[in-house]
Structure 1
Amino acid sequence: MSVYIGEFISLLFLAFALGLDAFSISLGMGMQRFRLKHIALIGIVIGLFHILMPFIGIVLGHVISGQIGNYATLVGGLLLFGIGAQMFFSVFNNQKKRLIQPIGIGLFILAFSVSIDSFSVGLSLGISGVKTALALFMFGLASMILAWGGMLIGRKVHGLIGAYSEILGGSILCGFGLNILFG
């Protein structure tokens, strides 16, 4: 029983870490003062992409894990650590991210770009053999709620904590990668 609780808590933290990317981008978008109906739509689409992308990654991860056998855990840990490090260090990149307008096809491009890191996480989770339905549900729900929260807070705060959320999310992913590698 404690194994299941531990896996649930790990997935909860991982879902939160993946959703922080959507949160930080939503903070900036929230300053554009979208209507609440549009904020709800943006969060739902981002949540759906955070289900779809890791699902594709998990399916590919299952296929790859059958091929590489004993190296599956090593590859999964390295992937998580690499994604986390990329998230962490992207904060210090001096280039400004171009903000895509979340209307029409731009909404799908935005949701895809925010959820692309969850594909890689799904790939590493597929290699390690995680509970697929639970992970996908938690990833989608967390990213949707964090996107909504980010947009609503962005309407009030005007981007005060955007970079710090990326640092936190990257640090959590690095920690999970190191836990898989050495834990």
Structure 2
Amino acid sequence: MSIGELFIIAVGLSMDAFAVSVCKGLSAGRVRLGHALTAGIWFGGFQALMPFLGWLLGSRFQSFISNVDHWIAFLLLGLIGLNMVRESRSQEEEEVGASFAPKAMLPLAVATSIDALTVGITFAFLQLDQADILWAVSLIGVTTFVLSAIGVKAGGIVGERGKSRAELAGGIVLILMGCKILVEHLGLI
């Protein structure tokens, strides 16, 4: 997997965290640098941790399903992407609150990084070795950190329209990456 592909996946995965960060920025009123750093650390940290855990899980079971791993990667990325697209079209308001305390940030960080866990499983099916997975999760974590910090700062400016557009873009990116993996493994490109 190329660095460009990893970066595209990192940006796609970080869109949920970016969207929640925008909402946190909106609800915070006066946004401080500490708010942006807190969101970046929580979201970036969990976005790095979850794919690593997924890779560990997937690596254990990879030998059992190696004949269909590209279909699993396609389905997982496609379902995550479709869910993000669906959420971007939802009229429901999510209440994220203004608190940046650990009890408020932990559930948000876990919720926005669940999709990264399944991407980590996909990485195992693509047979990324330990050095590659460390590079991949670092890139995902740093990308999410930066975008989350920017999201908090931009919250008051971008507003609710930016949240749904970010989720839509992230979903489309993950769907396209799943299609690319499938097409490559079928030998069509």
TM-score by length of 1: 0.91
Aligned residues of 2:22 and 2:151 also touching (Cα < 8 A): yes
In structure 1, the residue matched to 2:38 is 41
Contact 1:24–1:166, Cα closer than 8 Å, also in 2: yes
What's the counterpart of residue 23 of structure 1?
18
Please, which runs of 5 or more residues in structure 2 have no aligned partner? Answer: 185-189
What's 1:3 paired with?
none
CA contact (8 A) 1:80 1:177 kept: yes
Aligned residue for 2:101?
A: 103
Distance 2:65 2:102 in 1: 41
Q: Which of 9, 14, 19 is matched with 2:9 structurally? A: 14
CA distance in 1 between counterparts of 2:141 and 2:66 reads 29
Instruction: Give unmatched runs, 5+ long, in structure 1.
Output: 1-5
Q: Post-superposition shift, 1:8?
A: 0.9
Q: Which residue of 1 aligns with 2:182?
A: 181
Q: Residue 84 of structure 1 corresponds to which residue in structure 2? A: 81
* Number of the residue aligned with 1:121: 119
Greater CA drift, 129-138 or 29-38: 29-38
Deviations 1:120-151 (A, max 9, x none): 11111111123201110111001100001111
In the alignment, which of 61, 70, 74 is matched to residue 71 of structure 2?
74
The change in CA–CA distance for 1:157 and 1:81 in structure 2 (over 3 A counts) is: closer
Instruction: Compute the RMSD of aligned alpha carbons.
Output: 1.5
Instruction: Give CA-to-partner distance per residue, 1:74-128, whole Å, 9 cap, x none.
Output: 1112111111111111122232223153312211111111111111111111111
Q: What fraction of aligned residue pairs are identical, expressed as a percent? A: 29
* Distance change >3 Å, CA 105–CA 129, structure 1 → 2: same
Q: Distance in 1 between matches of 2:168 and 2:141?
A: 21
